[in-house]
Structure 1
Amino acid sequence: MNIETELEHKVQTHLKFIYPELDAAEVCQHLLELMRLDKNTPTPPNHQNHWTEKDIIAITYGNSLLREQEKPLHTLHEFMKSKLDGIINSVHILPFYPYSSDDGFAVMNYAKVSDSLGDWVDVETISSDFRLMADLVINHCSSRSLWFENFKQDKEPGKDYFFTASPEDDVSQVVRPRTSPLLREVNTPSGTKHVWCTFSHDQVDFDFRQVKVLYEFVKITRLYLDRGVKIFRFDAVAFLWKEIGTNCIHLAQTHEMIRLLRTLVEHAVPDAIIITETNVPNHENLSYFGNGNEAHCVYNFSLPPLLVNTLLTGNCKHLKRWMMSMPPAQIGTTYFNFIASHDGIGLRPAEGLLNEDELATLANTVNMFGGKVSWRTANGTNKPYELNISLFDALQGTYKGTDKYQIDRFICAHAIMLALEGIPGIYIHSLLGTTNDYERVNNTSHNRSINRHQWSIDALEQVLDDKYSHHHKVFNRMCELIEKRIAQPAFHPNAVQFTLQLGEEILGFWRQSQNRKQSIFCIFNITDQEQQIEMTEINLIDTEHWFDLIAQQPVGDLRGCLTLKPYQAVWLTNYRIAHH
């Protein structure tokens, strides 16, 4: 009699839920073979943190930095080694596979590195110096992929890999982030088919009801682990499972599929991490933690619109209310914090947190600062879906107009993000103070291109060396801030966080290290006016010596007043750890 091992039992439990009609033992056996797992592999302990306060993830395209006659991945690696070593320890390289559109997210071949960027050796070299995060583009692939070409010819592999529906089906409830038609008509030898396209007609959705599709993705996952990927970003995973007659988002099978992939990944590489990319309203986003058995991290999508709104209005009430409503992540899970990325500032995660008027003011201000607004259709009306602008330009003033505080406001935004509970992700263009790229928008006709500039490394090094350029000022201030952050145990992604009530013009919260030795009071003037606060309001313990980590100076009179210049950030600690 074959006694089921713990691993087999776990995998089969997931499978029975997702594929009740299949032989779970047989499918499990095949998955373990694809993942090269021994069925007796011990289960890693639950609820382990695979991160510390030292973890900062730089987000970049493989070709954000270019040098003539050099593979962009090599250029990126050299830049990170020379400029960011000891400051940033992880890198998220956005899809580096051959693709047909959407700057990488319409993948043509998951097993290959795009020739224009480099090869797997370049990827592995980066992963030997920096913890590597990569995309598993799991919901859809390119309509120019071999699989879809085969689908159109009724050939294997691919002929049943894609989700199809009938134009008569009721798809009125389907939730989508785009305004294009959902179904794409395709002629095949066995007749006309209508392929499901959540995002664009070049991005055709997989049909995970076919277990062969799962097999393909387990193979891909194993390949990425072998090539040094430690953090997986599950792109657009909320849409993975579809059922006609439902909203086709966050279905129970989708959650179970993430749990299954996590079980396989963590048995293969116990410290690998899964981050789900679900750009949806806050309460839906939080569901991807499961019970500590799904994503290790979820993207904190509400942070970018709320933080930008705070700094443009000079009022932190919404940000504060949201912070207080966020549950502390349980041990073994944490938040992935970011305020800028390759996409725009998504507004759906602010729905229910900002009202329609506030969202409109935000969109109008971004427009005034040279940004673009992308729209989506909801119940027949158009709503702003995303603000497309470089973060540096988004913070060039307030809703009243531009002013002289752009760099201070920008640094303040990052001082807030770096201090919050979670792992910070910093877009490379935020590190460099990159501004709107209008030429790229004109060339591509895509709003998102405004924030996807490609730097010539020579031009970049020139402006970084010029002490009068804003790029030099931003880069150096950002690096100093990060260096101070990564030395503080109270900034561990799972250290306690408590929101302070200091009015609407001053944002404050308290972090405490897990061993309770270090406290940091994080206080920010989020307005363009000087602000004063009584030290007694912060409740600093009298018997301790307090020190501002950012200004690198001791705090004098605990009975006096703290005066904050416009956009000044202070991190007050009782336990000073010098950064190296």
Structure 2
Amino acid sequence: MSYSLQNVRQKICHHLDAIYQDVSLPCSQEQLADDLLAIMNISDKDHCPSPHQNQWNEQDVILISYGDSIIKDNEKPLKTLHTMLNRYFKQAINSVHILPFFPYSSDDGFSVIDYSSVNEALGDWQDIQAISSDYKLMADLVINHCSSRSKWFENFIAGEGVGHDYFFTAEPSDDLSDVVRPRTSPLLRETNTQKGTKHVWCTFSHDQVDLDFRNPEVLKSFVSIIRLYLDQGVKIFRFDAIAFLWKIVGTSCINLPQTHETVRLLRTLIEYACSDAIIITETNIPNRQNLMYFGNANEAHCIYNFSLPPLLVNTLITGDCTYLKTWMMSMPPAQNGTAYFNFIASHDGIGLRPAEGLLSEQEINVLVNTMQSFGGKISWRNADNGQVKPYEMNITLYDALQGTTAGPDKYGQDRFISAHAIMLALEGIPGLYIHSLLGTSNDYEKLKNTQHNRAINRHRWDYNKLNEQLSTPHSQHHQVLERMLHLINIRKQQAAFHPNATQFTLQLGTKLFGFWRQSIDRTQSIFCVANVTNEPISLAMSDLNLIDTNNWVDLISEQQVSHMGDEWTLAPYQTIWLTNHIDID
């Protein structure tokens, strides 16, 4: 279906009308729409993007890494990362999320000084382009805030130049009681400027100053940044902290209608500029609010499945899948053109807000206490009535699963692999943090040196030492990588693991967590069943209602079902992917 530039212009004007309905713009909406079209270099094309077209399949697996997660003497880290990707992951991974690779002042990259350049300590745009030529590249659009050391903020203080009117301010006397915060630091930062004392809004930290999207020049600047990233090979945009984008004093300042409409606008601009580029919204918020960012297949292409990490960890340390199963049954299937982005470990930690309303307060307390006993740290947030609540558990996933609520045990690695076998089989696109693929443990030295809780899960490997570990069969790093690659390579060959393939939750009690996947063309079924306890558990094949005329085999162990009346004993933390259609090398 063809479209005209005028059609796109009208669509953009519709978005702008919804965003700026209560804002007096310095120019007409039509002029602003024309400016955005020109920045994105959108012109008449032959095909109109379809909101219900899947830009992904079962082959898509995303590796998540900092640009300098692996370092080598006398070599820029982005080159080292590229070498590492090609040496160990190329057959399993087709997409890479490089966490913010721009000049920054804090928060390991999420306080951006300059959006238009690559951090010289990591490499340059040529290194980014080289990686994007071999892998689908995902990059962060840190859109809610920037660094207080940015040129924009310097101009804000000076009262002139680009950025002098880019930042959101409020007054200490304003009613800010309903503002939702992910941090305990003061919301407003007192700043002396050439125009007097200003109180700058800081959702996250006083080095991360919030931008004011009521000013259309801020919008135009970020559209220019998006165009630059597309030109450098970025195909997947991660909208960082997008839920906090629009602020109205006297409200919660989270998930406001203008924020959702801004996502719709940016999607329109991105998909008309590059039809196979996609948006993933990073919204570490309660589950129901998170789902809203799908819109009607017209907002985010993908949303982070933030409730999965705390629920899955809770399941595996308690040996009870009740909460995970209840949540799974409540999750709507993603429409074509949208998909869940599944992950269980990230550069931050295991968020607890997405577990609110899903886990009881007592369960959350048990989870927090267990992670602390495993060496983890807890980050806190301000809640209602001056309460302080746990916001995030900072710990590597490998150490988080070293035991149960009763303490560490001998099943740590099996429990860790089970978590990934479950995650890789779920509806959605899997994202794997590099330190999970490498079986990295807590970095207490980095935690001590930085005094930042999240540093515990941001280890920086020496390339030669890592290679030595990966070539040593008895090391946990070698064993984890080998087992993880085995799972990924099986997953990629199964049509029933397409991110939008049918999924139903199975009722197998509290100790066996199970679900059924069916390929879009209905030719393949896979029953995924995991023993979430530290004891052997029997599974009756009759409980799965397998079709007797088919031959069934577990893709992971390659063990066959000999008789439909059989019982299958699952070892502690064993997961099976039972299929009627074998497609495995």
TM-score range, shorter chain: over 0.9
Count of residue pairs brought into register by the alignment? 577
| Alignment correspondent of 1:226 | 231
| Alignment correspondent of 1:144 | 149
Call closer, same or farther: CA 1:577–1:4 in 2, change over 3 Å. Answer: closer
> Is the Cα–Cα contact under 8 Å of residues 61 and 429 in structure 2 kept in the other structure?
yes
| Alignment correspondent of 1:390 | 396
Q: Deviation of residue 377 (structure 1)?
A: 1.3
| Alignment correspondent of 1:305 | 310
> Is the Cα–Cα contact under 8 Å of residues 530 and 566 in structure 1 kept in the other structure?
yes
CA distance in 2, matches of 1:375, 1:343: 13
| Alignment correspondent of 2:123 | 118
Secondary structure (helix, strand or coil) at the match of 1:553 reads coil
Q: Deviation of residue 43 (structure 1)?
A: 2.5
Secondary structure (helix, strand or coil) at the match of 2:31 reads helix
Aligned mate of 2:90, from 63, 85, 91 = 85
Q: Deviation of residue 38 (structure 1)?
A: 1.3
After superposition, the C-alpha distances for 1:212-236 in whole angstroms (9 at most, x for unaligned) are 0001000000000000000000000
| Alignment correspondent of 2:20 | 19
| Alignment correspondent of 1:10 | 11
> Is the Cα–Cα contact under 8 Å of residues 60 and 94 in structure 1 kept in the other structure?
yes
> Is the Cα–Cα contact under 8 Å of residues 41 and 267 in structure 1 kept in the other structure?
no
Aligned pair 1:272/2:285, yes or no?
A: no
List runs of 5+ in structure 1 lacking aligned partners.
Answer: none
List runs of 5+ in structure 2 lacking aligned partners.
Answer: none
Aligned pair 1:262/2:267, yes or no?
A: yes
Aligned mate of 1:443, from 438, 449, 473 = 449
Q: Deviation of residue 41 (structure 1)?
A: 6.7
CA distance in 2, matches of 1:41, 1:196: 44
Q: Deviation of residue 42 (structure 1)?
A: 4.4
Aligned pair 1:245/2:250, yes or no?
A: yes
CA distance in 1, matches of 2:45, 2:520: 34
After superposition, the C-alpha distances for 1:265-307 in whole angstroms (9 at most, x for unaligned) are 0001100010000000000000000010000000000000000
Call closer, same or farther: CA 1:214–1:41 in 2, change over 3 Å. Answer: farther
| Alignment correspondent of 2:558 | 552
Secondary structure (helix, strand or coil) at the match of 2:81 reads helix
Aligned pair 1:355/2:360, yes or no?
A: yes
Aligned mate of 1:153, from 133, 158, 161 = 158
CA distance in 1, matches of 2:559, 2:219: 56
1:396-415 equivalent positions in 2, closer than 5 A:
396-415=402-421
Aligned mate of 2:467, from 461, 466, 471 = 461
Aligned pair 1:130/2:135, yes or no?
A: yes
Secondary structure (helix, strand or coil) at the match of 2:199 reads strand
Q: Deviation of residue 46 (structure 1)?
A: 2.4
CA distance in 2, matches of 1:578, 1:436: 35
> Is the Cα–Cα contact under 8 Å of residues 42 and 267 in structure 1 kept in the other structure?
no
After superposition, the C-alpha distances for 1:97-138 in whole angstroms (9 at most, x for unaligned) are 000000000000000000000000000000000100000000
| Alignment correspondent of 1:533 | 539
CA distance in 2, matches of 1:87, 1:39: 38
1:394-543 equivalent positions in 2, closer than 5 A:
394-543=400-549
**Residue type of the alignment partner of 2:345:** A
CA distance in 2, matches of 1:245, 1:26: 31
**Residue type of the alignment partner of 1:8:** R
Secondary structure (helix, strand or coil) at the match of 1:5 reads helix
Q: TM-score by structure 2 length?
A: 0.98
After superposition, the C-alpha distances for 1:249-278 in whole angstroms (9 at most, x for unaligned) are 000000000000000000011000100000
After superposition, the C-alpha distances for 1:78-104 in whole angstroms (9 at most, x for unaligned) are 010111112010000000000000000
Q: Deviation of residue 5 (structure 1)?
A: 1.7
Q: Deviation of residue 381 (structure 1)?
A: 1.0
1:566-577 equivalent positions in 2, closer than 5 A:
566-577=572-583
CA distance in 2, matches of 1:551, 1:262: 42
> Is the Cα–Cα contact under 8 Å of residues 299 and 336 in structure 1 kept in the other structure?
yes
Aligned pair 1:179/2:180, yes or no?
A: no
CA distance in 2, matches of 1:128, 1:552: 35
Q: Deviation of residue 40 (structure 1)?
A: 5.8
Q: TM-score by structure 1 length?
A: 0.99
Q: Deviation of residue 553 (structure 1)?
A: 2.5
CA distance in 1, matches of 2:44, 2:173: 45
> Is the Cα–Cα contact under 8 Å of residues 443 and 455 in structure 2 kept in the other structure?
yes
- Residue identity over aligned pairs, in percent, reads 63
CA distance in 1, matches of 2:282, 2:142: 10
After superposition, the C-alpha distances for 1:419-452 in whole angstroms (9 at most, x for unaligned) are 0000000000000000000000011000000000
Secondary structure (helix, strand or coil) at the match of 1:243 reads coil
> Is the Cα–Cα contact under 8 Å of residues 5 and 43 in structure 2 kept in the other structure?
no
> Is the Cα–Cα contact under 8 Å of residues 8 and 39 in structure 1 kept in the other structure?
no
Q: Deviation of residue 190 (structure 1)?
A: 1.4
CA distance in 2, matches of 1:536, 1:563: 14
Q: Deviation of residue 557 (structure 1)?
A: 1.6
Instruction: Pick which of 451-460 and 30-39 moved more.
Output: 30-39
> Is the Cα–Cα contact under 8 Å of residues 7 and 43 in structure 1 kept in the other structure?
no
Instruction: Pick which of 527-536 and 553-562 moved more.
Output: 553-562
Please, what is the CA RMSD of the aligned residues? 0.9
CA distance in 1, matches of 2:88, 2:158: 50
| Alignment correspondent of 2:330 | 325
> Is the Cα–Cα contact under 8 Å of residues 7 and 39 in structure 1 kept in the other structure?
no
